Structure 1
Amino acid sequence: MSRPPIPVTTTFELPGFRILECRGVVRGIVVRSPTLLQGFLGGLKTMIGGRIGAYTAMCEQTRQQAFDEMLQHATGLGANAIVGMRYDGSTIETGASGATEVLCYGTAVVVEPLNA
């Protein structure tokens, strides 16, 4: 994973920076269901137990997409940092198989270095 274009932290402060302005809540949301192959391999793995790599990869891709959408939302508002970032996830039952929803959210802020 590459470094985000703006600082992002789960805390409500950004060490070395002063928050000048809050631009509001920003978010990225992605809903994804497994491919046929992921569903088949995941189904086989559930019968024997253990880590389900196909689902793990799908969930990580979904988290990264939601994170990237949040960054785009923040920069679109003119923010140069995000504080209080969190993930939230849920399952949506769609009949034969479920879908995974991942929400990534935080507070978009404008910051300046403390020594400025």
Structure 2
Amino acid sequence: MIVTTGNEVAGHEISEYLGVVRGIVVRSTGIGRGLIGGLRSIGGGNIPEYVAVCEEARGHAFQLMLQHAHEAGGDAIIGMRYDATEFMQGSTEVLAYGTAVRLRKTE
């Protein structure tokens, strides 16, 4: 499936808009990563344990969005974006969303 942050797909014409699709996950750091990440945060800089949690959450949300688009009959997702909100202390909601479309190849 084609996924783009743009509003068009090169070499294709959008034949049908199927609506907004999304993938939502809520993740926490967990005790191990939270403890190690908390200790590393004292020194400042990049915190690999937190990066790993963020990457896993974005990847999972992305896969759920793809599944939603597939179920809607989409060929592509345009206008794809991520959003993240702290759900409660230590837990973050990650949302991947865009517009599912059907495409027709242009000649």
1:101 aligns with: 93
Give the aligned length: 107
Identity %: 50
CA distance in structure 1 between the partners assigned to 2:104 and 2:40 by the alignment:
49
Moved runs in structure 1, 4+ residues, more than 4 A? Answer: none
Residue segments in structure 2 that go unaligned for 5+ positions in a row: none
Residue segments in structure 1 that go unaligned for 5+ positions in a row: 1-5
Residue 18 of structure 1: CA displacement?
Answer: 0.5
CA distance in structure 1 between the partners assigned to 2:10 and 2:93 by the alignment:
31
Within-5 A mapping of 1:85-96: 85-94=80-89
Normalising by structure 2, we get a TM-score of 0.97
Cα root mean square deviation, aligned: 0.8
Q: 2:67 aligns with which of 60, 66, 72?
A: 72
3-state SS of paired residue (1:65): helix
CA distance in structure 1 between the partners assigned to 2:103 and 2:88 by the alignment:
41
Larger proportion of strand: 2
CA distance in structure 2 between the partners assigned to 1:91 and 1:31 by the alignment:
9
1:23 aligns with: 18
Deviations 1:5-51 (A, max 9, x none): x0000011111100000111000000000111100111101111111
Normalising by structure 1, we get a TM-score of 0.89
Within-5 A mapping of 1:50-61: 50-61=45-56
